[in-house]
Amino acid sequence: MDLARFPRRRYTHAPTPIELLPHFTKALAASCPGGVGPEIWIKRDDLLGLFPGGNKTRKLEFLAADALAQGADTLITCGAPQSNHCRITLSAAVKEGLKCRFVIEERVPGSYKKEAGGNNFMFELMGVEAITVVPGGSDMGAAMSKVAQEVASLGRKGYIIPGGGSNAIGGLGYVACVQEMQQQWYDMGLAFDAVVVGSGSSGTHGGMAAGFFGNSIKIPLIGIGVSRDPADQEPLVYKEAQAVADLLGIGKVPREAVKSFGGYWQPKYSVPNAKMVEAVQMLARTEGILLDPVYTGKIMAGLIGLARQGHFKPNAKVLFMHTGGLPSLHVYEDVVLGRTALND
Averaged pLDDT, 294-314: 97
Peptide bond into 52 cis (omega under 30): yes
- State the burial class of residue 130 (Cβ atoms within 10 Å of its Cβ: 0-12, 13-18, 19+): middle
**CB of 53 closer than 8 Å to CB of 12:** yes
Measuring CA to CA, which residue among 308, 220, 221 is closest to residue 264? 308
C-alpha dihedral (208, 212, 213, 215), degrees to nearest 10: 130
Provide the b/e sequence for 296-321 (b: ≥16 CB within 10 Å).
bbbbbbbbbbbbeeebbeeeebbbbb
Helix (H) or strand (E) holding 134: strand 130-135
Measuring CA to CA, which residue among 83, 72, 86 is closest to residue 226? 83
- How far apart (Å, rounded) are the C-alpha atoms in residues 161 and 230? 25
Catalytic residue among 31, 83, 227, 260: 83
Measuring CA to CA, which residue among 322, 317, 316 is closest to residue 279? 322
**CB of 166 closer than 8 Å to CB of 203:** yes
Q: What is the pLDDT of residue 344?
A: 58
How large is the greatest C-alpha to C-alpha distance in the chain, in angstroms?
Answer: 66
**CB of 114 closer than 8 Å to CB of 120:** yes
What digits encode the pLDDT tens for the residues 239-279? 999 999 999 999 999 999 999 999 999 999 989 999 999 99
Residue 117: pLDDT band with limits 50, 70, 90: confident
What digits encode the pLDDT tens for the residues 12-35? 999 999 999 999 999 999 999 999
Q: What is the pLDDT of residue 51?
A: 79
Task: Say which range, 37-41, 183-187, 211-215, 339-343, has the weakest mean pLDDT.
Answer: 339-343
Fold of 56-165: Rossmann fold (3.40.50)
Measuring CA to CA, which residue among 54, 293, 301 is closest to residue 196? 301
What digits encode the pLDDT tens for the residues 21-80? 999 999 999 999 999 999 999 999 999 999 789 999 999 999 999 999 999 999 999 999
CATH 3.40.50.1100 segments of the chain: 18-53+167-336, 56-165
Fold of 18-53+167-336: Rossmann fold (3.40.50)
* pTM for this prediction: 0.95
Residue 320: pLDDT band with limits 50, 70, 90: very high
| CA atoms within 13 Å, Cβ hemisphere of 185 | 20
83 a catalytic residue = yes
Q: What is the pLDDT of residue 114?
A: 87
Q: Return mean pLDDT, the chain.
A: 96
**CB of 80 closer than 8 Å to CB of 163:** no
Measuring CA to CA, which residue among 40, 77, 81 is closest to residue 56? 77
Whether the predicted pLDDT of 330 surpasses 90: no
Q: What is the pLDDT of residue 115?
A: 87
